Amino acid sequence: MSAETARQTVETAKLLNTQEAAQRLGVSKRTLQELAAERKIAQIKFGRNVRYSIADLEAFVDANRSKAIGWKAAAQ
């Protein structure tokens, strides 16, 4: 495993608290909590502590990305 791959693996495996995860997604803490309650974003609970994995946040963003349609394609 190269140093770059190892660094990416460690970064992806890091767990974020609710505030950090909300900032990373650009949403409020409440919105993130609602998405987790609706099971749209995975969360990890340690007793009262809730954490979010960076990989799960990126998967959520990728799953909800819509493909842009250019104005030429829309006109046809």
In a domain, 43, yes or no: yes
Q: Is residue 74 part of a domain?
A: no
Region 10-19: what's the mean pLDDT? Answer: 80
Number of domains making up the chain: 1
Containing domain of residue 29, as a range? 3-63
CA angle 46, 51, 53 (to 5 degrees): 125
- DSSP 8-state class, residue 39: T
Q: Which residue's entry shows tokens 């799960």?
A: 56
Neighbours of 9 (CB within 10 A): 11
Is the pTM higher than 0.85? The answer reads no
Q: What is the mean pLDDT of residues 21-34?
A: 97
- Is pLDDT at 59 greater than 60 in this prediction? yes
Of 68, 5, 14, the closest CA to residue 44 belongs to 14
Question: How far from the centroid of its chain's Cα atoms is residue 39's Cα?
Answer: 13
In a domain, 72, yes or no: no
Residue 55 included in any domain: yes
pLDDT recorded at residue 18? 97
CATH code of the domain containing 25: 1.10.1660
| In a domain? residue 68 | no
